[in-house]
Structure 1
Amino acid sequence: MNGTNVMVTGATGLVGEAVVFRLLADRKFTPVAAARSETRLNGLCRVVPFDLDDARVQPSFSGVQVVVHCAARVHVMHDSATDVLAEYRRVNVEGTARLARSAAQAGVERFVYISSIKVNGEMTAPGVPFRASDAPAPVDPYGISKREAEDALKQIGDETGMQIVIIRPPLVYGPGVKANFLSMMRWLVRGSPLPLGAIHNKRSLVSIVNLVDLINVCISHPQAVGNVFLVSDGDDISTTQLLVRMAAALKVRSPLLAVPSWMVKACASLIGRRDIAQRLCGSLQVDISETCTILGWQPVIGMDRALQQTAEHYLAQSRP
């Protein structure tokens, strides 16, 4: 697929923008950024308007052979929608299906969908990681919408012949990360004591560098077609270990209090934040062996180096 034009949706987001910059750097494929707002990619590549939430703002697929679909209504902790699941379905399922059908009608050959490990479920028993072949078991509205979008894409692929590739990442981090990971860095830099010094869970994370590298492989690899791939850094760690390693990358002390996980969960339940305790104390591991075997792929950066890059970017952005 040399000379291939690759449209990247959600090009203003963490993953989408990183994919575009990787394509620009490699010069193997030509990126087309699809975004609903102003982007610093203007002038670097072709930018087309696109809004997953608005059927009136759809991209032109002129000359495009591959779509990497990163845009989504993302998971949020406090959603103000009256019917949360309906909103996720309207954007992530209906919007994705609309985009995919238009792409197929325009002659797009391959559609790479960035889904979520939440399709598999919310938690794993320690040492029993999720596998791509596991039966989907999404729990929250976001995970349900991602699973239904996957099903819609498979049907569209069967009907049109467009090649479908699905990638399910766990938590993605890297320079420019927001949400809970950003909050964690802020807590550490402030020196806030955290009652998370005795958490013995196991969680898989994926650096934006490793995720983008896998996406880059899936754009053209012949064995990617029709498969679901799980991805991680291949270095599962506990919440306590993550905080210690992130503090080291930020060059700050990690004031962690050795509070037992059962007490953290109990306190969180008392204040109605059981969901937070689940993320902090529960395990969520993924098995990437199938991904590595099928694609001949391996993570290209280790977690400590990826955490260091994340920390350096955060500190640079935080300076006056």
Structure 2
Amino acid sequence: MSKVMATGATGFIGSGLVKRLTGRGVQVVAPVRSQAASDIGPVVGDIDGYTDWRGTLQNVNAVVHSAARAHVMRDGATDPLAEFRKVNVEGTLNLARQAVEAGVKRFVYLSSIKVNGEQTSKGSSFSEEDTPAPEDSYGISKMEAEQALRELSRDSDMAVVIVRPPLVYGPGVKGNFAKIIKLVEKGLPLPLGALHNKRSLVALDNLLDLIVTCIDHPAAANQVFLAGDGQDISTTELLQGVGQVMGKPVRLVPVPNGMLMFGAGLLGKKAVAQRLLGSLQVDISKARNLLGWEPPISVEEGLRRCFISENEC
């Protein structure tokens, strides 16, 4: 990989990718949306179907597209799906078309496990062969972007690689994982001590390693891969693991799953409860078998790295 363009360079995943690539001596172009981040790379403005990428794609061999309109629990948009489509579908396809015109050979798209669905029954796992079943606007927009990219790749010489991660955690993590950390920090009793669900996570370092592998591995061309740590854990085990690396006791009270779901329903928090109590497992055997890829760090090490500075990673 002689020159790579990486979008989303100010984000949690994109910034880590730029650091990983430059550390390996790769020439990286990192376009940004805002003038305030112009020290990182060239400013392209907002991402939609009209963004002009031509100046950033010169002599680029591969594009890794992680910039997106992110999933939010409470979306204030009048038509959330339309807003997601502007960035995640139209913006992605516009970039991909210009990449084809510029002679880019590979386009790595960071999608989401939400394309598969929201949960699995215990003991079963999502795979790349599953029929997509997104349940929210974000997941639908990611699925539509994947479909558009695959169609484009069939009519061009640019290979497309799609990576679908579940919950990503690591240094500087935000969102739901940051909320879990805050729960442990408070030290309050939590009614989550008897959960036997199973959830797949992916440490940032593991996800970055898979993305870098997909940039130039011959067997990755025009494939979809699910990302994960290869070690599924329950929510109870996750809380205990976070407490261990933080050096804080975790006060977990064993309350039956059914009672928790009932209480969450009464409080209008059913969706939140499903994420905490339900299972979501992914099968990463395709990446293992086709690419010879193995997650380089364990869940325990991934949790430890959540609490060290970026300079120490």
TM-score range, shorter chain: over 0.9
CA distance in 1, matches of 2:184, 2:201: 19
Native 8 Å contact 1:49 1:59 kept in 2: no
Change in CA separation of 1:73 and 1:307 when aligned onto 2, cut-off 3 Å? same
Quick one: which amino acid aligns to residue 271 of structure 2?
A: D
| Structure 1 counterpart of 2:192 | 196
Greater CA deviation, 193-202 or 147-156? 193-202
CA distance in 2, matches of 1:16, 1:51: 16
CA distance in 1, matches of 2:241, 2:309: 16
Native 8 Å contact 1:51 1:58 kept in 2: no
Native 8 Å contact 1:73 1:88 kept in 2: yes
* Equivalent pairs, count: 310
Native 8 Å contact 2:49 2:90 kept in 1: no
Residue of 74, 77, 82 corresponding to 1:81: 77
Change in CA separation of 1:221 and 1:56 when aligned onto 2, cut-off 3 Å? closer
Residue of 51, 73, 78 corresponding to 2:46: 51
Residue 306 of structure 2 corresponds to residue 278 of structure 1: no
Q: Report runs of 4+ in structure 1 exceeding 6 Å deviation.
A: none
Q: Deviations over 1:9-57 (max 9, x none)?
A: 0110011011100001111x211112113677937xx545353247245
Offset at residue 126 of structure 1 (A):
1.1
Residue 30 of structure 2 corresponds to residue 33 of structure 1: yes
| Structure 2 counterpart of 1:242 | 238
Change in CA separation of 1:39 and 1:181 when aligned onto 2, cut-off 3 Å? farther
Offset at residue 68 of structure 1 (A):
0.1
| Structure 2 counterpart of 1:300 | 296
1:102-181 superposed matches below 5 A: 102-181=98-177
Native 8 Å contact 1:205 1:232 kept in 2: yes
Residue 66 of structure 2 corresponds to residue 70 of structure 1: yes
Change in CA separation of 1:177 and 1:165 when aligned onto 2, cut-off 3 Å? same
CA distance in 2, matches of 1:135, 1:54: 27
CA distance in 1, matches of 2:38, 2:187: 36
| Structure 1 counterpart of 2:7 | 9
Q: Deviations over 1:237-265 (max 9, x none)?
A: 00000000011011101011211111111
Native 8 Å contact 2:34 2:43 kept in 1: no
Change in CA separation of 1:192 and 1:55 when aligned onto 2, cut-off 3 Å? farther
CA distance in 2, matches of 1:59, 1:109: 15
SS in 2 for 1:182: helix
Native 8 Å contact 1:66 1:219 kept in 2: yes
Quick one: which amino acid aligns to residue 251 of structure 2?
A: P
Greater CA deviation, 162-171 or 181-190? 181-190
Quick one: which amino acid aligns to residue 162 of structure 1?
A: M
Native 8 Å contact 2:49 2:94 kept in 1: no
CA distance in 1, matches of 2:192, 2:205: 27
Unaligned runs of 5+ in 1: none
Unaligned runs of 5+ in 2: none
Q: TM-score scaled to structure 2, two decimals? A: 0.95
SS in 2 for 1:113: strand
CA distance in 2, matches of 1:185, 1:119: 26
| Structure 1 counterpart of 2:179 | 183
| Structure 2 counterpart of 1:100 | 96
Q: TM-score scaled to structure 1, two decimals? A: 0.93
Quick one: which amino acid aligns to residue 8 of structure 2?
A: G
Quick one: which amino acid aligns to residue 42 of structure 1?
A: D
Change in CA separation of 1:262 and 1:208 when aligned onto 2, cut-off 3 Å? same
CA distance in 2, matches of 1:266, 1:17: 40
Q: Deviations over 1:203-224 (max 9, x none)?
A: 0000000000000101100000
